[in-house]
Amino acid sequence: MPREESIKLPLVVGVVPTVIVSVVFSYFSDVIFYSDATRLAMYSLIAFLSSITAAVSFIRARQQPYFHQRVFYAIFVVTGCRYIFGAIEHLFGLVDFPPTSFEVEASFLLVELLIIGLFFLISEILRYRSVSGPSIRIQRILVVLLVSGVLTFYILLYYVVLPALPAVLTMGIIVGAAITSFVSFTLSGVLAYKVKETTPTYSLGRLLASYSLFLLSGISLLLSLMFPFLQTATNILQVAGLVTITLAVAIPLVHEIGLDFRSSYAFALIVTLLITLPFLVILLVELLASGVIVYAYGEHLLTHLGAAVLSGGMASLITAYSNRKPARVHTPLILMFFSWMLVEVNLIFLSLFRTQIGLDDSFVPYIIGSFVTIVALIIAIRWILQPLGTHKIKPPKFWLVVSLVGVTALLWLVDAAEIAINFATPILNESPLDRAILLVFNLIAMFLFTCLGLLSIYESRGKITIETLTQGFLALWLLSIILKCGALEWTLGWWVAEYLLFGGLLFGPVILGISYLEAMSSAETSRGHATLYSDLLIHDIGNYHQLIQSSLDLLGLEGSTPEMQELAMRHAQSGLLRAHHLIRNVRQLARIVGTLEEQCGPVDLVECIELAFDQAISLTQAEGVEFLIKKPEEPCFVLATDLLKDVFLNLLRNSIDYSPQEKRIIVEIDSAHHLEQEWWVTRIIDHGRGISPDLKPKLFERFLEGAEGTGLGLSVVGAVVKAFSGSITVEDRVPGDHTRGTVFKVTLRAVRTPST
């Protein structure tokens, strides 16, 4: 696809509808959108989207340690920290502290947008100039200084500088920041378009669309000074810009580490949409059922009991799978599921006890669960980044048991301490401190989950494995907790959080069970292939080695006659030739294993057979072979690969080799219709000595008693035809008399080409 065409669709589809939706939505729902719950959800959404993009940029920076990658990563670390702090402000009701006018708020947001634009511009300049920057260690120090410096600047600007400025200077900052941010985003887009990369670091169209959306959010913010309802449009455009840039960063990376383009797009889009789910739920609740309370204590306990049982089931499934196919991340994943099972059980008992003493439900068990999740994720990431062999794939179960006992003890100790503190200081029972800590912990956990998911896909060479699916189900706790932090207890948003977790985990064992069976089936197939190659190397190659060694010993034997030496030489040459044929067949089998069916395309059947016959004649040096192809007038194309020529080469060589007298081969090609599918049936008819009825049922097995050579050639033929979704059979040319020739019947799926 040309470069110009590749950027047009994301720009048009990403920017135009977003602008229309943001303006219309702002005009009709400004009051509801700016409720405390929706503002908290929106700030959390921006923070968590920034966390995901920071994680993707972090993995990219590890693969390509250029300084512009670190700067890009720093942008989203700063944005995530700034907006999680804004969410905490809303939790504590500090949105009006210190008291500020809308002009001061707008000036701060425009300065923030300016900082983001400058970050992008610096990153694009470094990328355009291909600046590698200082050493990785210095880069990390600079990123820490950059992030801490910008966050300190934000705090001083918002709480100290802007409230003390006169209105004239505030308006000057608004105008100056707006113009500079517009220039920064425009120049960033121009430089991004001019960058020439062999392997794209970002999706260019989406990157330009995100820069456009950020620029438009600044225009919307400026216009909101005259049209206040556009404040909502500003936030929608910023969220859309973050979503778009997340896709722009994630899709090329996921595609580069192994997934095809569609799977890469689906993976990045699903992760992004899942993060937006809590915000959408809270928005719908505020629109349709704001303030509705549903008190159902029994159902509340049942959802926690169900989540505990399902979490234990998931942990048991991973344990069973790990016993069969251990991997480095299994122990941390098992620890996380068992820990969340303990958290859910603890919540049940704690809820019963706190109800009796007049206290509300606590978020402290969730904090402990999130803390254990962070520790387990860090361990999993460290293990997966280490080279194989540097630590045990499966640590002793003793450490897992000790960890779970420690989690249980920690839960009860912290619960007891919290209850004692609440009785000593009753005002803390109403404090949102626990929810604030939980938001921060889950922001870190989201970053780590994204890193681990990308590393798992990379380690599995682009496959969505059981480990990756398991991480997805673990992430459900994050979504549930984000919802609970933004919704009051017993409201509809709070109930959605309860059932989101329970419903997601309900499908978990089913999906993991199916994946487990598929993985076991694949493992058995791989084990069978390994056994086959082992047999070939140990059994057949060993036999040929022994034959060659005996022949060479005979050649060196004193007193051997010239006839004996000539015979020994022929035996040695025969052994070498058979070993060569065996190695060639094993290579063909190795090509069959994997994704051969996905590589299939239209192959001209007649041309393939003619080429195979010419090669068979060249290899056998046979003379006087009568060869005839009876084919229909229409072109005959089948679904196959270039290996189809090897299939017919093998069959035609057999027909020539085992026809010592009448070397006559007829190939008949006919069409057939079966199971609503068109097929081409090829019959290879020879007049040789035929195949014994006892050998026919086992003819395509990998070792065949009574067969000359390795007994592997026809097994390759059968495997290839099966990989093409076809079939092969053998029968007598004259029914009832196997000594008068053989018919091999190969049935392959017919395909049509534009010319046919």
Q: Does residue 389 surpass a pLDDT of 60?
A: no
Q: Span 146-161, mean pLDDT?
A: 91
What totals of helices (H) and strands (E) does the chain contain, helices first? 23, 7
Q: Are 242 and 46 in contact (CB under 8 A)?
A: yes
Looking at every residue in the chain, the average pLDDT score rounds to 79
Contacts of 575 (CB under 8 A, 6+ apart): 544, 545, 547, 548, 551
Tokens of 402: 């000790």
- DSSP string covering 614-642: HHHHHHHT--S-EEEEE--SS--EEEE-T
Query: Taking the alpha carbons of 538, 544, 546, 552 in that order, is the dihedral positive or negative?
Result: negative
Query: Taking the alpha carbons of 100, 101, 107, 112 in that order, is the dihedral positive or negative?
Result: positive
Letter string b/e over residues 414-444, b meaning 16 or more CB atoms within 10 A of that residue's CB: bbeebbeebeeeeeebeebebbbbbbbbbbb
Give the SS3 label for residue 226: coil
Residue 694 DSSP label: T
Q: How confident is the model at residue 223 (pLDDT cuts 50, 70, 90)?
A: confident
Q: Determine the pLDDT at residue 78.
A: 94
Q: Does residue 755 surpass a pLDDT of 80?
A: no
Question: Which position has the higher pLDDT, 388 or 641?
Answer: 641
Beta-sheet pairing, 626-630 with 637-640: unpaired
Long-range pairs for 109-112: beta carbons < 8 A, 24 or more residues apart: 109/221, 109/234, 110/173, 110/174, 110/177, 110/178, 110/181, 110/218, 110/221, 110/222, 111/157, 111/173, 111/177, 112/82, 112/154
Q: Are 314 and 508 in contact (CB under 8 A)?
A: yes
Q: How many percent of the chain have pLDDT more than 70?
A: 79
Q: Determine the pLDDT at residue 704.
A: 43
- DSSP string covering 701-745: SSS-TT-STTS-HHHHHHHHHHHTT-EEEEEEEETTEEEEEEEEE
Q: Does residue 98 surpass a pLDDT of 60?
A: no
Q: Does residue 4 surpass a pLDDT of 50?
A: no
Question: Which position has the higher pLDDT, 524 or 563?
Answer: 563
Q: How confident is the model at residue 197 (pLDDT cuts 50, 70, 90)?
A: low
Question: Which position has the higher pLDDT, 45 or 547?
Answer: 45
Distance CA 532, CA 435 (A): 58
Q: Determine the pLDDT at residue 385.
A: 81
Q: Span 601-629, mean pLDDT?
A: 85
Q: Span 32-51, mean pLDDT?
A: 79
Beta-sheet strands, E only, within 380-514: none
Q: Determine the pLDDT at residue 459.
A: 77
Q: Does residue 447 surpass a pLDDT of 90?
A: yes
Distance CA 148, CA 77 (A): 10
Q: Span 2-26, mean pLDDT?
A: 60
Q: Does residue 748 surpass a pLDDT of 70?
A: yes
Long-range pairs for 392-400: beta carbons < 8 A, 24 or more residues apart: 393/326, 393/327, 393/328, 394/322, 394/326, 394/330, 394/331, 395/331, 399/331, 400/331, 400/334, 400/335, 400/338
Tokens of 391: 């630590």
Distance CA 249, CA 56 (A): 7
Q: Are 636 and 748 in contact (CB under 8 A)?
A: no
Range with the poorest average pLDDT among 189-198, 476-485, 511-520:
511-520
Give the SS3 label for residue 483: helix
Q: How confident is the model at residue 488 (pLDDT cuts 50, 70, 90)?
A: confident
Q: What is the pLDDT of residues 660-717, one digit of tens each?
A: 777 889 999 999 887 667 899 999 999 888 888 888 877 776 544 444 444 446 777 8
Q: What is the pLDDT of residues 251-303, one digit of tens each?
A: 888 877 767 777 788 888 888 888 887 777 777 777 777 777 877 778 878 88
Secondary-structure breakdown of the chain: helix, strand, coil percentages, each rounded to the nearest 5: 70, 10, 20
Q: Does residue 149 surpass a pLDDT of 80?
A: yes
Q: Does residue 30 surpass a pLDDT of 60?
A: no
Q: What is the pLDDT of residues 693-705, one digit of tens each?
A: 888 877 776 544 4
H or E stretch at 681: strand 677-686
Q: Determine the pLDDT at residue 706.
A: 40
Q: How many percent of the chain have pLDDT more than 90?
A: 17
